[in-house]
Each structure stands twice: as structure tokens, then as C-alpha cells.
Amino acid sequence: MTATPPARDPRLIADEPGLAGAWAGFRRRIAQGELGSLPVVVGLAVIWGIFYAANPRFLSPVNLTNLLLQIAAMGTISAGLVLILLLGEIDLSAGVVSGLAAAVMAVLDVKLGWPAVSALLAGLVCGAAIGAFHGIWITRLRVPSFVVTLAGLLGWQGALLYVLGETGTLNLQDDAIPALAGTFFAPAIGWALAAAAVVALFAIAIVGRRRRAAAGLPLPPWRNDVASIVVRGAVLAGVAGVFSLDRGLPAAVVIFVGIVLALDTMLRRTRFGRHVFAVGGGIEAARRAGIAVDRVRVLVYALAASLAAAGGILAASRLLAVNQSSGSGDILLSAIAAAVIGGTSLFGGRGSAWSAVLGALVIGSISNGMDLLALASSVKFMVTGAVLLVAASIDAVSRRGRAAAGRA
């Protein structure tokens, strides 16, 4: 009698070679909510296709460059909110903090005559101090982050009005500050950075494979790494090509991407980054593992508020002024929506620094495309709200899928 072969664990099918294994792995990731940023990328491609069909100017080099300039400030604020969401918490004061930090910088530079660099650093320190204050209040007094940052939303708005005083609006006169958003590097620099990024990707892949081999872990086929690098290299080349056909590489985009790269490296390759994910996955479990939970939370709030301050400074640099409405309007909601749409979980413990980039691109593309089509703001808000609802629903469904897979 021939023995029946044992059933294969469906979780191991993805490791099988060939198209059958790849397709089985894809279906498994769908069921378990492990598709990563793929839904966001597909959604962004659909949005771009719709707006291009409605107005071909949408994908022109000039408009794409303007789009990236428009999202740099909001995306920087969103990068800080990614950290907060990774903890499973919220910060409702990020928008106002960005405006207050920009106001502090402007007052020091314009009214008190501080050098631009000193004024910029003071604005960032202002944001870090506010974030640390929030974090200490939340951790020491055990007041929910929603309440503390809601109070901050109101209180720091008053501080913004107080700092600006009767002037109301301050025009930035020092050329060094507007240069943050107004500088464009030569196209050759953009191409050089793209080439350097591809080389870095290959180096990272080689180092990663060596570490896996040294640890005795199985190595994925080289074609997987090569395919990933080719796709990313094509994206980088496309971006560099777009900039070369317009004014060149914007300094604001370099700053934004540099911040995201540093944040991504911190989250994925440092002990502090691992602690952030651990705290977001479960505070009690993290505390029992010996992690200084309160210190992690305070540092995250300080870092997030510093990034909010940086976003406010970039916004002021682009607008050449700071006024009483800086940091208000829909900037906070857009930054939170960008983090969620980009793939950061509202439940904590899952997400990536690159969520801020992808989500900001989605939010910015909707706003930019509708402006080109001269649609009313009401339509823009309704569409953005619908996209956010879809993203949050995907996150909830993915969470249930992962929970079901864990019980299997």
C-alpha cells in the first residue's frame, strides 16, 4: 500500500521555485495581509493614469517637479507621525507645532537679526522641546496621547499667535532660508545621486546575503535581489530624468528624501528602531523584555515634533513667509492621512518610513490633479476622505488576516 504523502504547510509554499511557488506565495500574502506597499503603488498608478487621461499636463516634468515640491513639507511632518503611529498612538498637535517652530525661526531671523543657521536650529529645538514635553506628560501622568496633543493643538496655536504678535505676517528676507525650497541642483547631480543609490542597493544586497549565509539562513535566489534593484533603479532614473527636463534637482526634495532615508535606517538597523516596533506591538511585552518603554515613547515624541518643525520650516521657505495660519488648515489631517495611506498601521507596530513618501504622493497627486482640472475643494476633500477610508479598511482587513494566520 502506498503511503499518502504528508500535506505541505501552505506557509512554506512561497519558498518553492518557479511560477507555481511565486503564485502560491502571492495568494498567501493576500490572505494574510502581507502585500506591503503594493496596494499603494497600484493605487498611485491608477490615480496618475486618471489625471493624465483628463489632462496630459499632469505628467509633464514641470508639474511633477511642482508636485514633489508641494509634498515635501507635508511629507516631512508625516514622517514624524509615522513614528507616533508605530507606537499605536496619535499626535494632533503636529500641524500647529510646525507653524510655531517656523514662527520662532522667522522672529529670531527677521526681528532679532539672528543668523539663518542659528534661527533654523532654534526652530528645530523648539519642536523637539515641545515633543519631549508631550512625551513626558503622557508617560509620567498616564494621560492619553489624544488628550495631551489635543490640548497642545489649542495651546500651541495660542503660542503661535503670541510669538507673531501684532505683525501677523513675517516675510522671510534672509536668502539662506528661502533657498531651502528655492534651490535647484544641476541635472548632473541628480543623475550622479541616482547612480550612487543603485550602487548602494547592490552593496546592501551583497552585505545582507553574506550576513544570512554567516547566520546559516537560507539565501533567496539572486534574481529576486536583481529584479528589486532593477525596478528601483528604473524609478530613480525616471525621477532624475524628470528633474533634468525641468529646473534640476530641488533641494527641498533632497532634504525630504534624506530625512526619510535616515529615519528608515534608524527604524530597520538600530536597536532604538527595534524598540519602537516592539513597543508598538505591545507595551507590556516590551517592558517585560527589558525595554525602557517610557524613554522610547518620549524620544519618539521629541523626534516626531522635530520633524514637524522641519516640515514647518520647509513650508515657510517655499511660501517665503510665516503667518497666523501657518500649520493650520488641512496640513495635520493630510499628514496623518499620508502616513495611513502609505501603509502605516493605525494599531501600531507595523509600518515604514517610506509610508510618508508614498502616502504624501497619493495625497499630493489628488490635490494637484484636481487643481489642474479646476475642481472644487469640496470634491478634493471627499475624494481624499474616501481614499483614507479605503486605506484604513485595508489595514483592518490585513490585521484580521495576520491574526487568523497566527492562530492557524
User: What are the DSSP E strand ranges found in 5-52?
Assistant: none
Question: In the chain, where are the structural domains located?
Answer: 38-186+248-407
Predicted confidence at residue 297, as pLDDT, reads 96
pLDDT at residue number 41: 86
3.40.1000, 1.10.10, 1.25.10, 1.10.3470: which CATH number matches 38-186+248-407? 1.10.3470
Q: Are strands 321-323 and 249-250 parallel, antiparallel or unpaired?
A: unpaired
d(CA 137, CA 144): 9
β-pairing, 169-171 vs 184-185, is unpaired
In angstroms, the CA 105 to CA 120 distance is: 6
Determine the 3-state secondary structure of 289 from DSSP: coil
Residue 13, class by beta-carbon neighbours within 10 Å (0-12 exposed, 13-18 middle, 19+ buried)?
Answer: middle
Give the E-state strand segments of 231-374 in sequence order.
Answer: 249-250, 321-323
CA angle at 52 for the pair 395 and 186, rounded to the nearest 5°: 95
Helix (H) or strand (E) holding 169: strand 169-171
Q: Give the burial class of 382: count Cβ atoms within 10 A of its Cβ; 0-12 exposed, 13-18 middle, 19 or more buried.
A: exposed
SS3 of residue 175 by DSSP: coil
Of 97, 212, 112, the C-alpha closest to 158 is 97
| φ, ψ at 17 (rounded to 5°) | -75, 165
Q: Which residue is listed with cell 514624524? A: 80
Q: What are the 10-residue block averages of pLDDT along the chain, 408 residues in total?
A: 44 47 55 66 90 93 94 95 94 95 94 93 96 96 95 95 87 89 92 93 88 83 84 91 93 94 93 94 92 96 97 94 89 91 85 91 92 85 84 72 59
**CA 245 from centroid of its chain's CA atoms:** 26
User: What's the pLDDT score for residue 39?
Assistant: 80
What's the confidence (pLDDT) of residue 20?
55
Rounded to a whole number of angstroms, the CA Rg of the chain reads: 23
Residue 45: other Cβ atoms inside 10 A = 10
**What pTM did the predictor assign?**
0.88
Degrees, nearest 5: CA angle 238-243-246? 130
- Cβ-proximal residues to 61 (8 Å cutoff; 6+ apart), any chain: 242, 243, 245, 246
